[in-house]
Amino acid sequence: MSQNVSMIRRRASKESLSSGRLRWLAALLAVAGGATLAAGLWWRKNPSPCPYGLRLWVQVPHPIITHSRLKRILEPRPGERLLEIGPGTGYYTMDLAEWIGDGELEILDIQPQMLEHTMRKVRSRGLTNVSSSQADATNLPHPGGSFDAALLVTVFGEIPDGDAALREVHRVLRPGGRLVVGEIAVGDPHFSRLGSLRARARRAGLAPNGHSGFPFAYFARFTKPGLRIPAHEQARNETG
Ligand SMILES: C[S@@+](CC[C@H](N)C(=O)[O-])C[C@H]1O[C@@H](n2cnc3c(N)ncnc32)[C@H](O)[C@@H]1O
- Tell me the pLDDT tens digit for each residue of 143-153: 999 999 999 99
Average per-residue pLDDT in the chain?
89
Residue located nearest, by CA, to atom 15 of ligand 1: 49
Average pLDDT over residues 126-152: 98
Say yes or no to pLDDT of 88 above 80. yes
Q: What residues have CB less than 8 Å from 95, skipping those under 6 apart?
A: 67, 70, 71
Say yes or no to pLDDT of 105 above 70. yes
Residues 63 and 90 reside in one and the same domain: yes
Residues 14 and 128 reside in one and the same domain: no
Which residue(s) pair with 73 in the sheet?
A: none
Q: How many helices (H) and strands (E) does the chain have?
A: 8, 7
Average pLDDT over residues 168-186: 97
Average pLDDT over residues 11-40: 73
Residues 117 and 84 reside in one and the same domain: yes
With bands split at pLDDT 50, 70 and 90, how would you rate the model's confidence at 21? confident
Residues 211 and 179 reside in one and the same domain: yes
Residues 88 and 148 reside in one and the same domain: yes
Rounded CA separation 211/222 (Å): 9
Rounded CA separation 191/15 (Å): 45
Is 177 close to ligand 1, i.e. is its CB under 6 Å away? Answer: no
Residues 93 and 132 reside in one and the same domain: yes
Residues 78 and 115 reside in one and the same domain: yes
Say yes or no to pLDDT of 15 above 80. no
- Which pLDDT score is estimated for 57? 85
CATH number of the domain within which 84 lies: 3.40.50.150
Is 155 close to ligand 1, i.e. is its CB under 6 Å away? Answer: yes
Residues 97 and 173 reside in one and the same domain: yes
Indicate the pTM of the whole model.
Answer: 0.83
Residues 23 and 98 reside in one and the same domain: no
Residues 66 and 109 reside in one and the same domain: yes
Residues 9 and 66 reside in one and the same domain: no
Domain housing 40: 1-46
The number of domains in the chain is 2
Residues 40 and 122 reside in one and the same domain: no
- Which pLDDT score is estimated for 26? 83
Handedness of CA 118, 192, 210, 199 (dihedral sign): negative
Rounded CA separation 87/203 (Å): 25
- Which pLDDT score is estimated for 187? 83
Task: Single out the residue of 199, 221, 201 nearest to residue 211, CA to CA.
Answer: 221
Residue located nearest, by CA, to atom 4 of ligand 1: 88
With bands split at pLDDT 50, 70 and 90, how would you rate the model's confidence at 1? low
Best residue among 52, 94, 118, 155 to mutate for probing ligand 1's pocket (most ligand atoms within 8 Å of CB) is 155
